[in-house]
Structure 1
Amino acid sequence: MCGILGQINRQAPVSREVFTAMRDSLNHRGPDSAGSEYFQEDRVALGHLRLSIIDLSEDGRQPMTNEDGTVWLVFNGEIYNFKTLRNELEGLGHTFRSQTDSEVLIHGYEAWGLDVLQKIEGMYALALWDDNQKELILARDRVGIKPLFYYYNGQQIYFASELKGIVTDPQVPRKVDWESVADYLMYRFVPQPRTIYQGIRKLPPGHYLRFSFAQGDPITAPYWELKPGIDQPDNTEAIRTANSMLQASVQEQLVADVPLGVFLSGGYDSSALVMHMASTGADINSFAIGFENWGSSEHKFAKSVAETFGTSHQEWVLQDEMTGLAKELAYYYDEPLGGSSFLPTYLLSRQARKHVKVALSGDGGDEVFAGYRWHHRLHKAYFPPKVGFMGKLRGRTNPPPPTDFAKAYHTNTSWTKWRYSDLPKAFGGGHLNAYLDKDDAWVYRRFLPNEPLSPIKSAQLLDYHTMLPEVFLTK
């Protein structure tokens, strides 16, 4: 991962000393190099921390610009189809001076404007400064793999890959958003676009932001929206298509000039990744983590998969390593986040980093293939098994299906049975009293389409907009 940040101050120069401190707060994201550029008499600043993946030379340093210095970029992520886009842009007369995927974004913006966002495939958070238009553009990938936060106070706008990159500036208030606290206690995450701090926002997945240096507030809008899929009646063809798409995706993500690996749990998702990685003939570094004296630990299954596909496999079995990590994790996450897999994932990442710079993981597979327990519970709630003969004799009947899908989803995915009205009793009154009457399922209701979908498709849609970007990808 890399780190990006920036600041625009319409009325006065940006403090270079403070901006450097903001950039330094993200040093852990990009240990290979750091850079900053200033424009408009220091009233515009861009910063970057680099983790080199493609083109390790100095040509890949950021902030990066075009030939005449009119378009500047800071970028975190990878563009998987950059070679195809580069060929297209070279055909249009554009000249490249590096082999990076980042430079494709600059020339793509010159050629197609914001439509470049429709063309790129990858995971990313990016910022473009258009010096001709005096305009800042932020964008975040379609799923929300890469984070991007921003703060606007009427005259200044800040953005960064992490909250600490913004609140390091003492001019930015660190006021807790108590509605976000209430939401976290309900859902185990702070729903976008809010954060734990008042006024600081997450740029939602699949959205861009435009900000004019001259006047006006920032404008955010979606550039891409998930559409319901087409039912595939032929299971054999569906399996063939899914397998082909997964294989192509894995091959695209193996493009790197540094060692890479895969997090292997032994489950379906990560095992499928290893299978497709092995089919390319690449040397595979696999990493697994397990738990001593826990019967459900999957590291033994991971070892079996590694042996089957001949990976260079390393595993770590945890004992008491997680003790005392709470403070360390709080520093990196910046805001409250609930989940059982964050600690082992963090420890696995820390160990794997000693050997590779990039690792693939199976996160997202259950959302695509409806593999979570709540998918099965919701399907059963709407399509219960028929009552048998003896059950009918005893007067047994199935309950009616839920009439409110958002509440049904919340009930089946919630880590507690709390309602907003319960929070003051559980945690004391005070600030939480203001949210007694809040809709318990509001965070899910806003993403349901007007046209009804099947229970499984509705659940997958809500997974995509909430649990996936807010919980599983954040870890």
Structure 2
Amino acid sequence: MCGITGVYAYGRAAGGVTPGMVKTMRETLAHRGPDGAGMYVREDGRVGLGHRRLAIVDLEHGAQPMFGELGECLVFNGEIYNYPALRRRLELLGARFRTACDTEVILHAYRHYGDECVKLLTGMFAFALWDPNRERMLFARDPLGEKPFYWTSQNGTFLFASEVKALLAHPQITAEVNTDALDGYLANLTTRSPRTLYRNINKLPPGTAGACDAHGVRTWRFWDLAGERDFHDLPLPEASARVRRLLEQSVQERLMSDVPVGVLLSGGFDSTALVALMREQASRIPTFSVGFADAPGCDERQEARWVARHFATEHHEVTVSPRDALRSLASMVHFQDEPLADPVCVPLGFVCAEARKSGVPVLLGGEGADELFWGYPHYVKMMQWQRKLSVLRSLPASARNLFPAFVPRSRRGWTFDSLSNAVRGRQLPMHYPLGLPASLRSAVLNPRLYDEPWISPAMAADGETRMQTLAFDTQHYEFSLRLPELLLMRIDRFSMANSVEARVPFLDPGLVEYVYRLPVAHKLVGGMTKVVLRHALSDVMPDRVSMRKKQGFGAPIGHWLRGAMGNVLVDLLSAPEMRRYFRTEKLLGMVADHRSGRRGRAQFLWPILNFAVWHRVWIEGACRDELADRMLSRCTVDAG
């Protein structure tokens, strides 16, 4: 796992790329790769590539940039899990390998297959490959979006990096707010690729490749999960057996490492499943859990301890206090680059730091299982609503259109958004919006910045039932936006912030392609979620875990915002800069409502807090250490 960055002056008479420039950009990514640093700058100053390495496989070799036989130059971030099989295939074609690392496989695959090489790679990856013979930079991001790739093209210069901070270190780039993306951020808690919250800076969508040459930049999709909208209705026993084989293979591949591998253990179904399958393949299993001081409702450590004892793991824990959370805010937005308004970012940072301190630089996590196998309680709730919705839909159009008028504005929220769209036409995906509902966004945003970010689903197939349409629309939203740009980016940022590599076995492309098109009845029946996965793992999962009600990995933001963190939010909203974006008097009223206990607003205030701290650090240029000290000065006695 690594950090990559680069510059290609494709449209400038004088290149201007210097070693000092590339080094400055590269060193902003030092946390992603503490084990080595490399650089290539072409003599004419038109191309520069930088790399920071976290050594996981083939510790003695694998330094980057790595060069091919014809002068190709590669910087790569990630792991290619099928590289042993791909290497054997390439050797039969005459490829001669100098190392045992997966990086070299990409170079030889490009040599033999050109741009099509990206379709052969199974794993998590983002890379850029300079081809001097074609005067062209090829780049790509993995199918599920596990690894990030940011880029911009300005004034004839193409720049890319694993994180935005490396782009901002280039003298040609300035940090400006992309106000067109603000409403979408508040709805989704993140920005949808290719947009970011920075003007003129893009992120490459999952399963997308691109190239930059003398004519500029173009991108194309090489993997599209949502293209085919049909279910493969197979008997449950057959589907369960296939899921078991695919998941076992995925776990085995993700144990590929020359350093210790552990598990992020919550004590829930998904992380316990990883421990259960890993126990059959590894002699040592370090596990790591996080809990919260004074917030037992969010603390799963008791269940994690039980699982650790049951499977005899080497268990580690860390506790986060309100003061710890407050102190971490400025660093959190530094490593996020752009806001990822998921409270889980806070505990993730602390538990990954504990893993690194314990000498375990690789962690397996359960991300993706709930999206793939329908594990969220919200899915159950929405399915139960379908009968009521069918009654509403049976009413004449004139009556259906009056439905919103009967709901007071003060009561309009996520449920209202979903129901009103359902009775008028196509129902919204089940997790949309994640953040502020439309009525609230329009109330708190300055009017010129509100622009309902409709999630454009694929065209419904002929003969699709309403239930099938909702299922595919939901999966499309989860796998095109929420999972790659929020959940996977949060674990990427806060594992790499601590020089730890995170791997997610539930998101093996082969497993995802198979389960994605299993019918809803194989995932959700009545109140039971993850049906096919439960069947697949019934012989290795303890009954205590299988029968336990899902709690969900979260953070006690309601508690925090009633203490010193609420003081900080009031201070930030009182600054004149925030009036450019928000009706701050309404937001301050929401803070007062929440702190008084009149109305819980934490889930709406958290993305506002994230944006305000991000703006202070990245747009206004505040020193994060000084900002952290000022935040801590707002602590009250009960906040510590």
Which protein has greater RCO, CA pairs closer than 8 Å, 6+ apart?
Answer: 2
Correspondence list, 1:42-441, <5 A = 42-57=45-60, 59-69=61-71, 71-212=72-213, 215-226=214-225, 227-228=228-229, 230-293=231-294, 294-320=296-322, 321-354=324-357, 355-384=359-388, 402-403=422-423, 408-409=428-429, 413-419=433-439, 423=441, 425-427=443-445, 429=446, 433-436=447-450, 438=451, 440-441=452-453
Residue pair 1:289, 1:299 contacting (<8 A) in 2 also = yes
Using the TM superposition, give the Cα deviation of residue 119 of structure 1 relative to its aligned residue in structure 2, in angstroms.
1.0
Secondary structure of 2:79's match?
strand
- Following the alignment from structure 2 to structure 1, what is the Cα–Cα distance between the partners of residues 20 and 426? 48
- C-alpha distance in structure 2 between counterparts of 1:229 and 1:17, whole Å: 53
Report the Cα distance in structure 2 between the residues aligned to 1:3 and 1:155, rounded to whole angstroms.
Answer: 24
Distance in 2, Cα, partners of 1:38 & 1:139: 21
Distance in 1 separating the partners of 2:185 and 2:245: 39
Residues 172 and 188 (structure 1), Cα distance of their counterparts in 2 relative to 1, 3 Å cut: same
Provide the secondary structure at the position in 1 that maps to 2:77.
strand
Secondary structure of the 1:48 match is strand
Shift of 1:68: 3.8
Structure having the higher strand fraction is 1
Which runs of 5 or more residues in structure 2 are unaligned? 392-402, 404-418, 491-640
Quick one: which amino acid aligns to residue 375 of structure 2? G
* Contact preservation (8 Å) 1:261, 1:360: yes
2:210–2:217 contact (8 Å) kept in structure 1: yes
Choose between structure 1 and 2: higher helix proportion: 2
In 1, distance between residues paired with 2:45 and 2:453?
A: 45
- Partners of 2:291 and 2:298 within 8 A in 1: no
Q: Residue 173 of structure 1: CA displacement? A: 2.5
Task: Give the aligned residue type for 2:370.
Answer: D
CA distance in 2, matches of 1:247, 1:337: 31
CA distance in 1, matches of 2:370, 2:263: 17
* CA deviations over 1:200-249 (Å, ceiling 9, x no partner): 1001100001111xx21200010010044643341122221111111110
Q: Does 1:464 align with 2:479?
A: yes
Q: 1:10-58 CA deviation, whole Å, 9 max, x = no partner? A: 322213222211111111110001111012612101110000111001x
In structure 1, what is the Cα distance between the partners aligned to 2:252 and 2:102? 16
The one-letter amino acid paired with 2:459 is: P
**Within 1, Cα distance between the matches of 2:67 and 2:46?**
18
Paired letter, 2:116? D
Query: Do the aligned residues in 2 keep the contact of 1:77 with 1:124 (CA within 8 Å)?
Result: yes
Q: Which amino acid aligns with 2:309?
A: E
When the two chains are superposed, the root-mean-square deviation of aligned CA atoms in Å is: 2.2
The SS at the match of 2:489 is: coil
SS at match of 1:251: helix
1:55-76 deviations in Å (ceiling 9; x for gaps): 001x31000011342x111000
Q: 1: distance between equivalents of 2:374 and 2:430?
A: 16
Show the 5 A alignment for 1:20-35: 20-35=23-38
Do the aligned partners of residues 296 and 199 (structure 1) sit closer, same or farther apart at CA in structure 2, a change above 3 Å counting?
Answer: closer
- Residue 218 of structure 1 aligns to a residue whose secondary structure is strand
Structure 1 counterpart of 2:67, which letter? T
Letter in 1 for 2:23: T
AA of the residue aligned to 1:224: W
Match of 1:16 in 2: 19
- SS of match in other structure, 1:190: coil
Q: Secondary structure at the match of 1:5?
A: strand
Cα deviation, 1:319-356, whole Å, max 9, x if unaligned, reads: 34212111001110011221121100111111111221
Aligned pairs, number: 451
One-letter code aligned to 2:314:
S
Letter of the structure 2 residue corresponding to residue 223 of structure 1 = F
Aligned to 1:392: none
Aligned 8 A contact 2:9 2:46 in 1: yes
Preserved CA contact (<8 Å) 1:154 1:217: no
Partner AA of 1:379 in structure 2:
M
1: CA distance, partners of 2:52 / 2:5: 9
CA contact (8 A) 1:8 1:45 kept: yes
Cα deviation, 1:425-472, whole Å, max 9, x if unaligned, reads 424x3xxx3344x3x352x22x43342534223212211111101111
* Deviation of 1:404 (Å): 6.3
Q: 2:128 touches 2:137 (CA, 8 Å); kept in 1?
A: yes
Distance 2:203 2:368 in 1: 21
The residue type paired with residue 434 of structure 1 is: R
Whether the aligned pair in 1 keeps the contact of 2:421 and 2:428 (CA below 8 Å) is no
Shift of 1:184: 1.4
Worse-superposed segment, 342-351 or 32-41: 32-41
**3-state DSSP of counterpart to 1:409:** coil
Native 8 Å contact 2:389 2:422 kept in 1:
no
Q: CA deviation at 1:302?
A: 1.1
Shift in CA distance, 405/146, structure 1 to aligned 2, threshold 3 Å: farther
Letter in 2 for 1:408: L
**One-letter code aligned to 2:4:** I
- 3-state SS of the aligned residue for 2:126? strand
Q: Which amino acid aligns with 2:319?
A: V
2-structure distance, mates of 1:228, 1:108: 31
User: Residue 401 of structure 1: CA displacement?
Assistant: 8.8
Pair 1:385–1:337, CA change in 2 (3 A): closer
> What is aligned with 1:448?
458
Measure, in 1, the Cα distance between the counterparts of 2:424 and 2:101.
48
Q: Secondary structure at the match of 1:180?
A: helix
SS at structure 1 position matched to 2:327: coil
CA distance 1:383–1:235, shift in 2 (3 Å): farther
Q: TM-score, normalised by structure 2?
A: 0.67
Structure 1 position 412, deviation (Å): 5.3
Q: Measure how far apart 1:86 and its partner are.
A: 0.4
Q: Distance in 2 between matches of 1:228 and 1:386?
A: 23
1:171: how far off? 1.0
Q: Which amino acid aligns with 2:8?
A: I
In structure 2, relative to structure 1, the CA distance for the partners of 1:66 and 1:298 (3 Å cut) is same
